[in-house]
Amino acid sequence: MPSGHPQQDTAAQARPTGPRPLAPIPFDVEAVFPELTGTAREVTLLYPRAGRPGPGDSSIGGPLLWPADDPWPMCAEPDHYKPLSAPVGPEPVAMVPVVQLYARDVPGLVFPPGTDLLQILWCPLVHERAPYAAAPRLHWRSAASTAAGTTVGEPPYPHTAEEEFLPRPCTVSPTPAVEYPSWDMPEGLGELLDARFEALREERGFGFHDVATTQQSKVGGYPGWTQPPAWPDCAGCGTRMEHLLSVTATEPESGRWLPLDDRHPGQEGAATPSWKAEADPAALDGFGHGMELGDFGGTYFFVCRGCPDTPYAHRYDC
């Protein structure tokens, strides 16, 4: 399906889609900051890179494995619009693929029984009730049963769209890691540790938030908030929902979270500390899905696994 972004012949397209090599966190977080003991979370970092994924691949912005008996989703919400543009009109707007993940590629992602394929689409317009962002829909499917009756041909393309909600097709490289909280630290703890975080930077040359927390597209771990957290509660049972995944406008172009094989030539070895690493300029054009999401913000998806049908919600900040 077209995405609004031209295909690019970049080095990223030739990269393998398996886990990327990462430098470890360069200090023992819980030894230096025992107050953070027990707050580490496993996370799967996606590292979207411009490419040509197919419907049988995990991707961001790529084509979906779509069942022939399931009509392509259209958005007819009366409140969707394009800022500073003419009214959209009554014609429904085709939704666009945002995320497709196969269980085989993301072992850390828990799928509802009988499913092994996660798909997220959204209407690429601003919605007042979304709030103020693209309105998504989430599907859990069985890949085998879906593949047995897939639709043929291209899905409909939206007749109008806000460009910042149109991802370019990207391969992903699900990479397991561990991260610690940033915005999601227990109340008051961040302020308590601020002076010691600064002392760490002065002593070792890197900051806690630079090497132990990350804002990038990911599954699990902590949401990639750019503003104070806004965790949703489940409408069915009232419990706080679980972070499923984040789709963020930013991807690491330097520092500890930059994959080792994306480094500028000459920085691959141990001579350059991971927190000072810079990306290979030739690869930068292929980084990320191309969506700014407001002012380089993100969309965060949440689920409740305690209720039937795994209800979901989302939040957006910029």
pLDDT, residue 290, reads 94
Residues of the chain with pLDDT under 50: 1-15
Hey, what amino acid is at 267? Q
Which bin fits 245, alpha (ψ -120 to 50), beta or left (φ > 0)? Answer: beta
pLDDT, residue 4, reads 47
pLDDT, residue 12, reads 37
Phi and psi angles of residue 118, each rounded to the nearest 5 degrees, phi first? -110, 130
